Amino acid sequence: MHDLVRSLGTSHTGFFHQSVRRVPARLAIGATFSKVETPGGLRWVVQDVHEGGPADKGGLKPLDVLDTIDGKRISPPDQPMFPMGTKPRTTVERNSVVASFELDIPAPRSRKQPHAEPKAVISSVLPNSIGYLKVAILPGLLGLDVAREIDKAVAGLTQCDRLILDLRGHLGGGLGVLRLMSYLTPEKLPIGYTVSRKMAETGYEKEKLRTLDHLPTGKPNFLAIATMAMKYARRDPSVLLVSEGLGPQNWHGRIVILINEHTVSAGEMVAAFAKENSLATLVGTETAGRLIPGSGFKIGFGYMLIMPKAAYITWHGNRFEGHGIDPDHAAGWSPYEFMNERDDVLLRAVELATFL
């Protein structure tokens, strides 16, 4: 059944048991893997490790070569999958030495979209007054808490005149993406819209779709949720996103966004918005092309079916399902360069930001 559903070839599509025994590594442990030809053959090598996730807390590091998960050897084409709510023993090769780790993977908050949450927002100030903002995930359907975290991070970067936004390995998320996109421009700009099958079949005008142009983060969560529910709940999910108009930042016009093949969903929305409106320079590799909102349905015997429920279309009419957003400057991750403790992609971004 899983293979049959996957044969549809769309993102946010799957068939799994609610015991969540097999969850992709990026969601279960907050790490992404790349296929690398090693002296021992084609293997999975750790690429991104998100701070605060089970992989990070358990001790996994970039360049670790995956060996076994609970005693079972894992190598391509088998995908690294982890059981949530357990402590699987994981072995890797690190500097030609086998190391063993116990990964403490929490039970998911939602079995419809199971994942373990790493630290969502990280920020710092780099040399030459360059701000650095990394957003790994945008948890929560309404995203009020993560939007406030983004506000706090941006407040610490207001004196910076350039910004690097790191979306490598971004896991996706909910409406908190609106706040992140809104910090890319001082004004209100149409971003894109979701449209349901029913709306697509009956016809619509994008300018007349219900508009979401503000996250009520200034209200207590219960009041904000009630406000949003009255406006959007139990209605067709088609909605137009418009940036919030948060005003100018010193680094507007001098933004670099890092993306890679593991950047999905909400992260791709940010990259597409920035590229279409010339708000940032994109550096990295083509994103995953997974931009269809999905929803889970119980179908009995403990199984869940995840299916797309709407299409996402940018304001300029582009769809990125099945093919991602291309960077303006290609810069791929290389394990051989990373061995020298050099993040060449970030260094390239710093170089570009310096001369913007």
Provide the domain count of the chain.
2
Model confidence pLDDT, tens digit, residues 197-218? 889 889 999 999 999 999 999 9
Cα 281 to Cα 3, 42, 166, 258, 308, distances in angstroms = 38, 33, 12, 9, 30
Mean pLDDT of the chain: 90
Residue 14, in any domain of the structure: no
190 and 86 belong to one structural domain: no
Clarify whether residues 90 and 150 are in a common domain.
Answer: no
More confident residue, 66 or 344: 66
Average pLDDT over residues 149-174: 96
Domain-located, residue 283:
yes
**CB within 8 Å of 326: residues ≥ 6 apart:** 282, 286
Which pLDDT score, from 0 to 100, does residue 237 have? Answer: 82
12 DSSP assignment: S
Lowest mean pLDDT across 82-91, 172-181, 304-313? 304-313
- Which residues contact residue 200 at a Cβ distance below 8 angstroms, ignoring those fewer than 6 apart? 311
Clarify whether residues 159 and 299 are in a common domain.
Answer: yes
Sorting pLDDT into bands at 50, 70 and 90, what band is 12?
A: low
Contact between residue 91 and residue 71 where contact means Cβ atoms under 8 Å apart? no
In angstroms, what is the C-alpha Rg of the chain?
20
| CA–CA gap between residue 238 and residue 300 (Å, rounded) | 28
Q: How far apart are CA 90 and CA 74, in angstroms?
A: 10
Which of 102, 134, 166 finishes a domain? 102
CATH of the domain at 41: 2.30.42.10
**Based on the domain organization, do 205 and 126 belong to the same domain?**
yes
Give me the half-sphere count of Cα atoms (radius 13 Å) on the Cβ side of residue 173: 30
The answer to whether residues 178 and 190 touch, using CB atoms and an 8 Å cutoff, is no
Read off the pLDDT of residues 265-285 as tens digits, 9 standing for 90 and up.
999 999 999 999 999 999 999
Q: What is the pLDDT of residue 113?
A: 74
CA 246 to chain centre: 23
Return the beta strands (E) in 217-275 as ranges.
Answer: 239-242, 255-259
**Shared domain check, 279 and 307:** yes
pLDDT of residue 39: 86
Q: pLDDT value at position 91?
A: 97
Among the listed residues 126, 166, 94, 173, the one whose alpha carbon sits nearest the alpha carbon of residue 333: 166
Backbone angles phi, psi at 240, to 5 degrees: -100, 130
CA distance 169 to 288: 10
Stronger pLDDT, 345 or 22, i.e. the higher one: 345
Q: How confident is the model at residue 233 (pLDDT cuts 50, 70, 90)?
A: confident
- Torsion sign across C-alpha atoms 214, 215, 217, 222: positive
Give the domain extent around 96: 24-102
The answer to whether residues 202 and 322 belong to one domain is yes
